Chain A
């Protein structure tokens, strides 16, 4: 089955710890995105990548880092600099670079211990 897979589904972070969220797609899509969703809010863009080895900051990139070493993978690291990391994180991908018709993973809920 083609799709986009996020793991883990739930993640807990201790204070001062970096954690990495995984996102893998086998749709052969060029572009990948990370969004953060807080309760009752819309999605806010953290980072996006339109091509391998290149990525751009979104609206709320501070405290996060990404890499795009392979076309199918776009991991997100939540660093200790992100002081309010509790949220639902969504990864998405799209064919081409125009942000049309995004396919989303099922999300990772990150909580702070």
Chain B
């Protein structure tokens, strides 16, 4: 069952611009995580935000969480060509015993 859904499916920007990706989910969660995947590789954990947090920063990444709207956003500031990858949100539904559910991802292309 797909819980998180990212929007947009694909995003193309120029280097130096900001990139914003959104994630919506359906049920109550304990936390929401964002992962990055380079083509043909495994996923890399970027950031985790808990249900009682509203905003979190890590370097050029900023994540927000709105539990009333069941949505999250990932902002990458001053993007670089190396940021080109797919980005996934994953939710840990309350009572799921650690079973993460991933969305289909946003494919980000940053052009030099």
What is the interface of chain A, defined by CB distance below 8 A to chain B? 4, 6, 31, 33, 35, 40-45, 48, 50, 56, 58-59, 88, 90, 92, 94, 96-107, 109
Residue from the list B35, B42, B96 in contact with A106, Cβ < 8 A: B42
From B13-21, B61-69, B73-81, B102-110, give the one contacting chain A: B102-110
What is the interface of chain B, defined by CB distance below 8 A to chain A? 1-2, 4, 30-31, 33, 35, 40-45, 48, 88, 90, 92, 96-105
Q: A102 near B48 (CB under 8 angstroms)?
A: no
Q: Across the interface, which residues of B come within 8 angstroms of A103, CB to CB?
A: 45
The complex places the Cα of A92 from the Cα of B45 at a distance, in Å, of: 11
Q: Across the interface, which residues of A come within 8 angstroms of B101, CB to CB?
A: 45
Q: Could you tell me the distance in whole angstroms from the C-beta of A100 to the nearest C-beta in chain B?
A: 6
Residue from the list B4, B31, B42, B90 in contact with A90, Cβ < 8 A: B42
Q: B98 near A42 (CB under 8 angstroms)?
A: no
Q: Could you tell me the distance in whole angstroms from the C-beta of B6 to the nearest C-beta in chain A?
A: 8
Most buried by B among A48, A59, A98, A106: A98
Decide if the interface of chain A is mainly helix, strand, loop or mixed.
Answer: strand
Residue from the list B42, B88, B100, B103 in contact with A99, Cβ < 8 A: B100
Q: Which residue of B lies closest to A33 (CB)?
A: B100
Q: Could you tell me the distance in whole angstroms from the C-beta of A92 to the nearest C-beta in chain B?
A: 8
Q: B42 near A42 (CB under 8 angstroms)?
A: no
Q: Across the interface, which residues of A come within 8 angstroms of B2, CB to CB?
A: 42
Q: A107 near B98 (CB under 8 angstroms)?
A: no
Q: Across the interface, which residues of A come within 8 angstroms of B92, CB to CB?
A: 98-100
Q: Which residue of B lies closest to A41 (CB)?
A: B104
Q: With A90-B42, A103-B45, A104-B43 in contact, is A42–B103 under 8 Å at CB?
A: yes
The complex places the Cα of A101 from the Cα of B44 at a distance, in Å, of: 9
Residue from the list A40, A48, A97, A107 in contact with B42, Cβ < 8 A: A107
